[in-house]
Amino acid sequence: MSESKRKVALVTGAGRGIGKATALVLGRRGFDVAVHDIDASTAVETVALVRKFGVEAESYAADVSDREAMHGVVATVESRFGQIDILINNAGISSDRCPVEKVTETMFQRSIGVHLAGTLWTTQAAIAGMKRRSFGSIVNLSSVQALVGWPEGATYNAAKGAVLALSKGWAKEFAPWNIRVNVVAPGHTETEMTVRNDPPELRAEKAKTIPLGRYAQPHEMGEAIAFLASDEASFITGQVLSPNGGFVIT
């Protein structure tokens, strides 16, 4: 992709895990990348890696659940790069993992705030520029948990399921401006979060439930996300792609 034609992608939650892997895949494919994370230090680390591909990259730190903060991030990115062509709403936190009786208001508000409100506020800020240019591609991150019954994950299930519904509505709402909206719903993926939350023996047991017999690596999710964001997927909108190793087949 020549410098004069490089597209700009904003990836939220790109300091670690799937977001970081996605930023690297996009950088390798020739996109300039705005790297967002709540942790400024990890965002800076990702930027350094993305720049090795010869593209532009900058870091931005904010809490995605904060509407004003994310509107500020988008405005700053647009000022720096001129536009946002690709928006990857990836920022997320781990599941609650407890019976419904133990769900707290704080747990609920945080899960909905990060996964659902974060997706809403960031898109709300970026959509005006996409509409002005009659071009854009948005990929929202849901989860395999939103596709199947999943016990002891009420707030995470609710938030990720709502992301699916939100995305389908946006796909129709934004289509007149040539703006596509799709969803990636990852299955079990070996990220810092899953390694921290699940000991090796538990991950080994979970891997046995996956027909391909292993967890995904973050870059495999990044490739799926980058495909839906790219011009190669120009006639795909309102769809859900779930790379899950056959764990869920619909």
- 181-235 per-position pLDDT tens digit: 999 999 999 998 888 888 899 899 999 999 999 999 999 999 999 999 999 999 9
User: What single-letter DSSP state applies at residue 5?
Assistant: G
What pTM did the predictor assign? 0.96
Q: Of the candidates 91, 93, 206, 102, which has an alpha carbon nearest to the alpha carbon of residue 154?
A: 102
Tell me, yes or no, whether 246 lies in a domain.
Answer: no
Is 248 part of any domain? no
* 12 within some domain: yes
Measured between alpha carbons, how far is 54 from 122 in angstroms, rounded to an integer? 27
Classify residue 163: in a domain, yes or no.
yes
Residue 246's pLDDT band, with cuts at 50, 70 and 90, is very high
pLDDT tens for 17-47 read: 999 999 999 999 999 999 999 999 999 999 9
Exactly one of 31, 156, 174, 247 is catalytic; name it: 156
247 in any annotated domain = no
Give the domain range for residue 140.
3-241
Please count the structural domains in the chain.
1
Residue 88, in any domain of the structure: yes
Q: Quick check: is 215 catalytic?
A: no
Signed CA dihedral, 218, 127, 111, 240: sign only: negative
Q: Is residue 178 part of a domain?
A: yes
In a domain, 250, yes or no: no
Residue that is written with structure tokens 């790069």 in the block: 81
Query: Could you tell me the CATH number of the domain that includes residue 105?
Result: 3.40.50.720
